[in-house]
Structure 1
Amino acid sequence: MTRVEETWRQYVPSATLHDVDPQRFRFEWHSADLDGVSLVRYDLAAQVHSTAEPQAQFLACRVAGSDVRLHSDRHDLDPTRPWITDGPRVHAHWDAGAHVTALVFDRARLERLGRRITGDDTLTLHVTALSSISAQAGATWDRTVAYLEQSVAGLDADDKVLRAELARHAAAVTLSAFATTARDPRARSPQAGPAPALVRRALDFIAENAHRGITVDEVAESVHISTRGLQYAFRRALDRTPAECLRQARLDGAHRELRAGSPKTVAEIARRWGFSHPSRFAAAYRDAFGVSPSVTAAAHRR
């Protein structure tokens, strides 16, 4: 069991196994690294309770078996469909054994692809429902994973171009098969077209540094433009100010931390993301996500 857990944690550091029957244990593992995504497949014959809770990742997974049971901390999941999580815990149970396939995406890379697909350079990617959007979409995702397995098997280690293409294909199908903010235009700000490269670089800097006490002046410096020029570029491309985008990135960061079941208080998380006034943070959070931060924290508290 220790070997299984250590192997799986190379890809999902939070993964844990519980209640494994050592008398019936049998394990077979295969994995491949593409460009920003890992393809994982394993067979585990044992009585198992496993938990996945990815951080800074998107985990799309299919657990196939005759007696598989799946649930999050709040809902049961359909065991006949693949599922995805970007933080909320998913628990899997089986007694007779299971075949598990998974795609593990780096959050930042999948989010960048989502921005290119939607044309929304302010998109913050979140999972909005854990199960695939339909049985047909789940079957398409399953076929894609099977195709990736076959394709990777014949690749040379230095075939970087094809690996990158396969990774993009995996990401596009996953974004199509599951409910995320990339599929929901209500979760995105209106944008007439792709933002220019300068604005995209500024947005990347904001996304990577929102947890720090950065200012709009520092964002402008990061892309070698004046603060006034940055304001104009954002208004023209996004109809938003850099300050609004920075504030939203910090709200998104606090939202992710609350959904991950952080043991910290709401006030502590608010301060970590630059909100010194809890009441103002609560109001901004409610405007952005439709619920108060305390409701999110209670729903995902461990």
Structure 2
Amino acid sequence: MLDQALLLDDAGRPFTQNGPTFSEDWDQVAAFCRQVYMPFRVQPAAPRTAPAATMRLAQIGRITLTRFAYGVPVHLDRFDPDAGNILVLNTLRGTLRHQQDGGQHVSTAAGDSFVVDCSRTDYWLDADASHMQLNLTIPHDVVENIATRWLGGRPDPQLWTQRVAFGGTGSRWHTLLAYAVRSIQADGSLLLGTNAAAHLEEMLCVELLQAWSERAGLPLRAATAAAPHYVCRAEQIMAAEAAQPPTIGAIAERVGVSTRALSDGFRRTRGMTPQQFLRQRRLEGFHRALQQARPGDTITTVAADWGFVNLGALAKRYYEHFGQLPSRTLAQRRHN
């Protein structure tokens, strides 16, 4: 159903696009990816291999659709969370291997889809030489706002951290995606005019939320209220001072509530305790410090800067979260 997506429209006319649709230049491919996805790192499986990249795009409201492939095997990681984007990777052919929790991974083949919120969790993927993708890039705020309108409150915050495979040929998602693609004409406009963009955007986001929540085991009916100001302020403090964090009691005092009220606020609106939130920020900070390590830095010295003493426990938690040991991250930094 999607084989000709962004190649021919529903009337059989070839899609037109400003800019290149194929490239063998890494810099040109990187510029395209920054534009439609976000900054991230690309490592070809074989050094000094030129890409044979397909680069096609279309727009449905605030959703960017891309028909994309590198044309060579690659490993992608270090997706920039500040871009604020959710990726939905729909495999047309070939195979992708995606990061999941606990050092696990899952593969997607033709007809399968995978969703990850790169603004809320780390992510890596491996793509084989024959991969071809029809991807969606959706700002997190767009999906969250649509969820709020439909549910009367925000979804369980844990949903955004879940990396899940879903869909499949014949699924509701696959059928809706095919309908959306058929609605785009050869010049990039929508068959039913500009008013159709908002409706298609909402349909895609709602179906994505349904499929995502079902696979994550987090029912959408479990909506949560907006976080109170003291939870948001506590998050800012913990993010800014993660290397040498104050106690949760001290944080509660600084934001003007009791420790119990702060914990209740986090559980109700974030689905986790303040301690869990702080542990995640510290682990992510340690990860970034390894990626930015200076010559002569070691695991021990970087861990000490972040107040970690038990290196064995740290390595275990790090592997569960990032899918590799701290030593591997440091070795990649030195290699680069």
Q: TM-score, normalised by structure 2?
A: 0.55
The gaps in structure 2 that reach 5 residues or longer are 1-23, 294-298, 329-336
Match of 1:177 in 2: 211
CA distance in 2, matches of 1:176, 1:102: 18
CA distance in 1, matches of 2:232, 2:196: 26
The correspondence for 1:246, drawn from 259, 274, 289, is 274
User: How does 1:44-55 map onto structure 2 within 5 Å?
Assistant: 44=69, 47-53=71-77, 54-55=79-80
2:168 matched to 1:135?
yes
CA distance in 2, matches of 1:181, 1:207: 28
Match of 2:96 in 1: 70
CA distance in 2, matches of 1:200, 1:168: 27
Match of 2:134 in 1: 101
Question: Does the aligned pair in 1 maintain the 2:263–2:273 contact within 8 Å?
Answer: no
When residues 261 and 245 of structure 1 are mapped into structure 2, their CA distance, relative to the original with a 3 A threshold, is same
Match of 1:211 in 2: 239
Give the deviation of 1:48 after TM superposition. Answer: 1.5
Give the deviation of 1:102 after TM superposition. Answer: 1.2
2:59 matched to 1:32?
yes
Give the deviation of 1:83 after TM superposition. Answer: 1.9
Match of 1:84 in 2: 115
Q: State the AA in 2 paired with 1:177.
A: A
Give the deviation of 1:113 after TM superposition. Answer: 6.3
Give the deviation of 1:14 after TM superposition. Answer: 0.8
Question: Does the aligned pair in 2 maintain the 1:60–1:83 contact within 8 Å?
Answer: yes
Match of 1:300 in 2: 324
SS, match of residue 217 in structure 2? coil
SS, match of residue 227 in structure 1? coil
Deviations 1:253-292 (A, max 9, x none): 34556889954759857965xxx4545995xx9xxxxx94
> Which shows bigger deviation, 291-300 or 256-265?
256-265
CA distance in 1, matches of 2:125, 2:67: 17
Question: Does the aligned pair in 1 maintain the 2:230–2:257 contact within 8 Å?
Answer: no
Give the deviation of 1:5 after TM superposition. Answer: 2.5
Identity %: 13
2:252 matched to 1:227?
no
Question: Does the aligned pair in 2 maintain the 1:58–1:84 contact within 8 Å?
Answer: yes
The correspondence for 2:176, drawn from 144, 148, 151, is 144
CA distance in 2, matches of 1:141, 1:29: 21
> Which shows bigger deviation, 112-121 or 77-86?
112-121
The correspondence for 1:16, drawn from 30, 34, 42, is 42
CA distance in 2, matches of 1:72, 1:238: 29
CA distance in 1, matches of 2:160, 2:232: 17
Give the deviation of 1:79 after TM superposition. Answer: 0.8
Deviations 1:36-63 (A, max 9, x none): xx4231255x742233333324322013
When residues 142 and 210 of structure 1 are mapped into structure 2, their CA distance, relative to the original with a 3 A threshold, is farther
Question: Does the aligned pair in 2 maintain the 1:70–1:79 contact within 8 Å?
Answer: yes
Question: Does the aligned pair in 2 maintain the 1:60–1:104 contact within 8 Å?
Answer: yes
CA distance in 2, matches of 1:241, 1:12: 28
* Root-mean-square deviation (Å): 5.0
Task: Number of aligned residue pairs: give it.
Answer: 263
CA distance in 1, matches of 2:282, 2:137: 23
SS, match of residue 251 in structure 1? helix
SS, match of residue 136 in structure 2? strand
Question: Does the aligned pair in 2 maintain the 1:126–1:180 contact within 8 Å?
Answer: no
Give the deviation of 1:64 after TM superposition. Answer: 1.2
Match of 2:20 in 1: none
CA distance in 2, matches of 1:260, 1:118: 36
> Which shows bigger deviation, 117-126 or 208-217?
117-126
Question: Does the aligned pair in 2 maintain the 1:111–1:125 contact within 8 Å?
Answer: no
CA distance in 2, matches of 1:25, 1:62: 19
Give the deviation of 1:208 after TM superposition. Answer: 5.5
